[in-house]
Amino acid sequence: MQKLRFLISALFLTQFVFGQLHSHKASKTLNYPDIDGYITLKTDLHQHSVFSDGDVWPTLRVQEALRDNLDVISLTEHLEYQPHKKDIPHPDRNRSYAIALKEAAAHDLLIIRGAEITRAAPIGHSNAVFISDANALVAKDAVTSFEMAKKQGAFVFWNHPAWHAQAPKGNPIWSDFQDERIKNGELHGIEVINTGDYAEESFALALKHNLTIMGTSDIHGLIDWDYSEKGHQRPITLVFAKERTKESLKEALFKGRTVAVFNSLFIGKSEFVKPLIQSGITVQKVNYIANTSILEITLKNTTSSDLLFENEMDYNFYHHPPVFEIPAETTLILQVKTLKKLDALELKLKALGAYIAPKEHPIIHWDIKVK
Ligand code: ZN
């Protein structure tokens, strides 16, 4: 009997442990809604492993991404910087991708082949993703690397242009090199958020040159240590794709359908930030408090970001101050003093954590019907 009980509990324990391992889910996964006409893909397209200057094996990157509920990752090893080369000789620059691809095979995670073209300022660092062979990008001069990336049909973005090691004022230094790459169709995006650093100046450059807006973790250590344990989420790029495929993702990146997200911060073009936040808030219930003209609107924040709003309506709130927060994945009952009973109300809130241009917040509308 004792033996049987042990066997049963051991069985449950095994199931529990393996169940946990198999799901790979962390306690707080990243969730953002689809927007009208598009599927929202959660991506982190700038990461490192021991195959360049990272500290982990590529399989760990896959497991971290699964825990965070990401849809897409790319391991973008420095082509020109391999500090672990003595211990891990690896002439084939595609190895990191191959190992990640194998690890992800049993899971619903897309792995994109990428590499980081690494140079001093003013060229800086750039990621080429959707390449077909990283080895062919290793070249003496950066111009050739960019040419080869284009030949492979790559989507290329400028990494951390505001990085203080290359831009001592913390402001990106634009040069002829970037102008020429854009003219040649060899540069398509720019990081506005890297490792949690948001550069407004990089955002301005993205809008000025019509570059795709990117946010990435640029993780070298562990996501848990560098972000989660500090109470942060990893920076990601939400990509609005027609389908959940590599081809659709690539099309969306070239078309610039993205929003960079870090914790409560959303950076993107108005046409994508607005529907994203609008879809992120669900109106669950609408009713007047008995014998009053105070309208109660139950709002659910379905995203993983705390959303900060400011009232933009002529009507005032009863309970909340004009600036209020709906924490991630929670519900809030807003009480609006409509002065008389209405059949419908246009709820108008400014999203204070979101930017559609430097220093400019979007105003989000919801059509509220009173039953
Ligand atoms: Zn990097």
Find the 231 Cα to ligand 1 centroid distance in Å.
Answer: 22
Find the 220 Cα to ligand 1 centroid distance in Å.
Answer: 8
Cα distances (Å, whole numbers) of residue 104 to 24, 47, 57, 113, 365: 12, 15, 13, 13, 39
Find the 344 Cα to ligand 1 centroid distance in Å.
Answer: 50
pLDDT of residue 37: 97
Find the 78 Cα to ligand 1 centroid distance in Å.
Answer: 7
Q: Which of 14-28, 221-235, 245-259, 290-304 has the lowest mean pLDDT?
A: 14-28
Find the 266 Cα to ligand 1 centroid distance in Å.
Answer: 22
Find the 226 Cα to ligand 1 centroid distance in Å.
Answer: 15
What residues contact residue 262 under an 8 Å CB cut-off, 6+ apart?
A: 193, 196, 198, 215, 232, 233, 235, 236
> Can you read off the two tokens belonging to residue 274?
């607005």
Find the 26 Cα to ligand 1 centroid distance in Å.
Answer: 24
Find the 85 Cα to ligand 1 centroid distance in Å.
Answer: 17
Find the 217 Cα to ligand 1 centroid distance in Å.
Answer: 9
Kindly report, residue by residue over 140-199, the tens digit of the pLDDT: 899 999 999 999 999 999 999 999 999 999 999 999 999 999 999 999 999 999 999 999
> Can you read off the two tokens belonging to residue 168?
């001592």
Distance CA 185, CA 19 (A): 47
Find the 116 Cα to ligand 1 centroid distance in Å.
Answer: 6
Residue 26 banded pLDDT, cuts 50, 70, 90: low
Find the 75 Cα to ligand 1 centroid distance in Å.
Answer: 9
pLDDT mean over 124-130: 97
Find the 42 Cα to ligand 1 centroid distance in Å.
Answer: 19
**Across the chain, what does the average pLDDT equal?**
93
Find the 202 Cα to ligand 1 centroid distance in Å.
Answer: 17
pLDDT above 90 (res 10): no
Q: In the 3-class helix/strand/coil scheme, how is 243-280 assigned residue by residue? A: CCCHHHHHHHHHHCCEEEEECCEEEECHHHHHHHHHHH
Find the 243 Cα to ligand 1 centroid distance in Å.
Answer: 28
Find the 156 Cα to ligand 1 centroid distance in Å.
Answer: 13
Find the 323 Cα to ligand 1 centroid distance in Å.
Answer: 37
Find the 95 Cα to ligand 1 centroid distance in Å.
Answer: 17
Kindly report, residue by residue over 303-344, the tens digit of the pLDDT: 999 999 999 999 999 999 999 999 999 999 999 999 999 999
> Can you read off the two tokens belonging to residue 170?
């913390």
pLDDT above 70 (res 1): no
pLDDT of residue 8: 45
Residue 2 banded pLDDT, cuts 50, 70, 90: very low
Find the 353 Cα to ligand 1 centroid distance in Å.
Answer: 26
Find the 218 Cα to ligand 1 centroid distance in Å.
Answer: 5
**Pairing mode, if any, of strands 212-216 and 189-194?**
parallel
Find the 255 Cα to ligand 1 centroid distance in Å.
Answer: 23
> Can you read off the two tokens belonging to residue 141?
């001069």
Cα distances (Å, whole numbers) of residue 84 to 45, 77, 116, 138: 22, 12, 16, 17
Find the 168 Cα to ligand 1 centroid distance in Å.
Answer: 18
Residues 158/126, Cβ–Cβ less than 8 Å: yes
Find the 352 Cα to ligand 1 centroid distance in Å.
Answer: 30
